[in-house]
Amino acid sequence: MEWLSGLPRMAGLFVLTAVMEIVGCYLPWLVLREGKPWWLLLPAAGALALFAWLLTLHPAAAGRIYAAYGGVYVTVALGWLWLVDGIRPDRWDALGCSLALAGMLVIMLAPRA
C-alpha cells in the first residue's frame, strides 16, 4: 500500500477525470437538447480525449481504476447537478453517493498481494 501516500494526488486525478468526462458529455447535451452552437462539440471532443488520457495516469490496474473511478464520478456528477444545474442533491443522492464512495474505498484499499 505504498501508493497510499499518493492518495491526495490520486483523489485529485479522479476528480479532474470526472470533470472532463462530464464536460465532454454535457456540451453535446447542450447542443442537442438546448440548441446551443455546434462548435461546442469541439471542446467536448477535447474534454473526452483528456478524460481518456487521464485514466491512464492512475497507478493501479485499468479495470480496478475504472471500477473505483465510478464512485468518484457519482460524487462529482452530484456536485455538477448542484453547481451547474442549480438542483441541490437530496438525502437520497447523499446516501447513494456515500455508498458509491464506500464501494470505491473497498476496491482501492483492499489488501492485495
Angle formed by the axes of helices 62-83 and 41-55, nearest 10°: 140
- Provide the pLDDT confidence category of residue 65 given band limits of 50, 70 and 90: confident
What range does the domain containing 11 cover? 2-109
Query: Taking Cα atoms as reference points, which of 8, 15, 30, 35 lies closest to residue 77?
Result: 15
6 pLDDT above the threshold of 80: no
Predicted model pTM: 0.83
- Provide the pLDDT confidence category of residue 53 given band limits of 50, 70 and 90: very high
70 pLDDT above the threshold of 60: yes
Domain total for the chain? Answer: 1
Query: Taking Cα atoms as reference points, which of 48, 42, 53 lies closest to residue 19?
Result: 48
Distance CA 29, CA 101 (A): 26
Query: Taking Cα atoms as reference points, which of 4, 5, 43, 7 lies closest to residue 24?
Result: 43
> pLDDT averaged over the chain?
89
Provide mean pLDDT across the span 69-94: 94
pLDDT digits (tens, 9 = 90+) for 99-112: 999 998 888 888 87
Q: Which residues contact 41 (CB under 8 A, 6 or more apart)?
A: 27, 28, 31
Among 16-20, 34-38, 69-73, 80-84, which stretch is predicted with the lowest mean pLDDT? 69-73
63, HSE (Cβ side, Cα atoms, 13 Å) = 0
pLDDT attached to residue 2:
55
3 pLDDT above the threshold of 60: no
7 pLDDT above the threshold of 80: no
